[in-house]
Amino acid sequence: MSATIDLELMRASVLLESDPAAAARHASNILAGSPGHAEAQLLLAAACRRLGDPAAAVTVLEGLARARPDSPFMQLELGRAYAASGRSAEALAALRRAVELDARLEDAWGELAAQLFAAGDELGGDAAYARYLQLLPQAAELGDAIAALAINRVDAAEAILRQRLRHFPHDVIALRMHADVAERREDEFEAERRLSECLALAPGFAAARYDLARLLSGQQRIAEMLPHLERLLASEPGNIDYLNLKAQGLRFIGRNDEAVALMEGVVAAHPDEERSWVLCGSLLREIGEQARAIEMYRRALTVRPGSSQAYSSLANLKTFRFSGEELAAMEQQLALASVRGADRIRLEFALGKGFEDAREFAASFEHYARGNQLQRKTFFYDPGMMTDEVQRARQFYSARFFAERSGWGNERADPIFIIGLPRSGSTLLEQMLASHSQIEGTRELLELPAVAFGLVAGMEAPDPAALHERIGALGRRDVEALSALYLERAQPARQTDKPRFIDKLPGNWCHVGFIQLLLPRAAIIDARRHPLGSGFSCYKQLFGRGQKFTYDLQELGRFYREYATLMDHFDATLPGRVLRVHYEQLVATPEAELRKVFAYCGLPFEEECLRFYETRRVVHTFSSEQVRQPLYSESVDHWRHYEPWLGPLKQALGDLVDKYPAPGSAARLKPQKP
């Protein structure tokens, strides 16, 4: 008889999720022959709740709970029934009792988290949900996806995750991993969508919330990021990852003193945390306190001798010079087989800089080349995509396109866009302009591309031409709304009431046509440097994110060609609209160049701009130390020391090397005022 009942219970349990009415009939049949059978009563109560009769479930479960007060399963099901009946306080009490009786009952923690959130207890809900995730068994296929991501097999991981989400669309672990896949593909819209979906299902999922905060930080959406961090810190006030990210966010919105104070508190509380010393040093570097920054980096080396982050940060202090002992220490680290991945890459670039300063150029290039080869293997990049994008832009942004939209856009002239390739003197030019009484320097703003790509946000696998199709379909009022949106989103980066501000995102060269459409009176300045000088300067720099084209000399040269091709197109389509400033000429004759720039911007020349190195402002780029010194010409032709190894770059650049104007050349388009 007992075996028969057990078999019936098993059958009923299987039906509980898919057919609760059938499960209830099986349970009732068991109880007809065995009145008072506890497991059958529990099953019947669970079926009643699923069938929309929680009151009946409560009646059964209260009697069971009195008979078995130490059963966590009874308490769990009673808590669920109370919750379904709207008896929240009693539900919380039962669920708390369930986890007290069995702290490893994951479903009870999940239900408890949901009830705490419903009661407005975010802190308690987050803690309960964290415990739930710790206990939740991991699906086997997710382990396969994790393994694929570990070796950068993004396509394989995505296929696994899509299959999982087709069958289990509310699997928050899979959703978070799919966001990771999207971010690796640089599809930040999809990553944000997945993480938002994840948090809508599981607001207590701290790892997903942190990922979203990190994503928002990378997009400089600090006002949106900070509430997420405050919630995370409410649960874990000493979490170093959260504190580090908060400090980085504060610096982006000009709260530099708070950021530094926060990090000083972190390193005081956690003196053995290498990364916090490094971040504290980087904050100090950006506000011009180089000596203190070096001290922080050296403290990181004390905490962890051989710290690649500290050595890399010291190398990025362009005016810093490594000692012979420090070079030897880095070489010893590279000799260790255990030093892999990002640590090895950072050390290679740091040694490249060290030997460059020691004028051992062959050894320097060898380290730079190895570092670039290793970094290039860590991501997917197809240089043909930029070629196709430039071709589409040239076809789309025709003279006819702009003629048909003459008079459209916002008449405000606030923005001064500085565009070009990285390491082309844009930070120097920005610092000079930001020394003007009517111009505010900000940072590399991401607002313009965000407004542009917002036009295709939410599209399922948009076609590469979709952005231009959307732009082409805009009406006059749409354009005015988008220009207002850009100015609104850029406003938080402005800390003064100066009438003009600088938007120095080099990659905006891809969006010159969009700028002209939205803001026809905005200044657009193309900061350009000799292609071999710019190219090699990019090649020797390990960037924090993006700039995937810089880790292979041929790809770098091809990218420069695409940039130059698109700029030539706009020179022909909108003659004189873009002012070109050559780095070499700016260094050779700064006053003459600045007078041209200010005339183009419709502003008077000011002598203070020649003393740009006296301007105290936060500089977020790797050139932060260089722009705090008077002009020097050593860097102009520094690439020539490496010319014997730049063959692949020269080959990819083709005639652009010979066409580049020598300093003093008048072969430049005369700009018109915006």
- Measure the CA–CA gap between 430 and 623, rounded to whole angstroms: 11
CB-based contacts of 320, cutoff 8 Å, min separation 6: 290, 294, 314, 625
Helix (H), strand (E) counts: the chain: 35, 5
Say if residue 240 is in the same domain as residue 105.
Answer: no
pLDDT the model gives residue 617: 45
pLDDT the model gives residue 251: 86
Q: Which backbone phi and psi does 475 adopt, to 5 degrees?
A: -95, 175
The reply to whether 387 falls in a domain is no
The reply to whether 323 falls in a domain is no
Residue 594 sits in a domain whose CATH number is 3.40.50.300
Say if residue 119 is in the same domain as residue 209.
Answer: no
- What is the DSSP secondary-structure string of 394-456? HHHS-HHHHHHTTT-S-----EEEEEE-TTSSHHHHHHHHTTSTTEEE-----HHHHHHHTTS
The reply to whether 274 falls in a domain is yes
Say if residue 127 is in the same domain as residue 6.
Answer: yes
Strands 439-441 and 500-503, sheet pairing: parallel
The reply to whether 50 falls in a domain is yes
pLDDT the model gives residue 394: 97
Please give, one letter per residue, the 3-state secondary structure of 218-242.
HCCCHHHHHHHHHHHHHHCCCCHHH
The conformational region for residue 561 under phi > 0 = left, psi -120 to 50 = alpha, else beta, is alpha
Query: What domain range includes position 50?
Result: 2-135
Residue 73 sits in a domain whose CATH number is 1.25.40.10
Contacts 24+ apart (CB under 8 A), 462-466: 464/385, 464/388, 464/389, 464/392, 465/392
Say if residue 445 is in the same domain as residue 551.
Answer: yes
- Point out the residues of the chain with pLDDT beneath 50: 1, 617, 620, 622-625, 627-628, 666-671
Say if residue 125 is in the same domain as residue 210.
Answer: no
Picking from 103, 135, 167, the residue at the C-terminal end of a domain is 135
Structural domains counted in the chain: 3
Picking from 114, 135, 156, the residue at the C-terminal end of a domain is 135
Report helix, strand or coil for 523: strand
The reply to whether 669 falls in a domain is no
**Tokens found for residue 450:** 């965000």
Picking from 109, 135, 161, the residue at the C-terminal end of a domain is 135
The reply to whether 140 falls in a domain is no
- Measure the CA–CA gap between 489 and 449, rounded to whole angstroms: 11
pLDDT the model gives residue 634: 64
Say if residue 576 is in the same domain as residue 474.
Answer: yes
Residue-wise pLDDT tens digits, 431-466: 999 999 999 998 889 899 999 988 987 676 677 789
Say if residue 545 is in the same domain as residue 626.
Answer: yes
Say if residue 111 is in the same domain as residue 255.
Answer: no
The reply to whether 372 falls in a domain is no
Say if residue 223 is in the same domain as residue 108.
Answer: no
Say if residue 224 is in the same domain as residue 128.
Answer: no
Say if residue 99 is in the same domain as residue 213.
Answer: no
pLDDT the model gives residue 598: 97
The reply to whether 127 falls in a domain is yes
Say if residue 130 is in the same domain as residue 215.
Answer: no
- Measure the CA–CA gap between 17 and 23, rounded to whole angstroms: 9
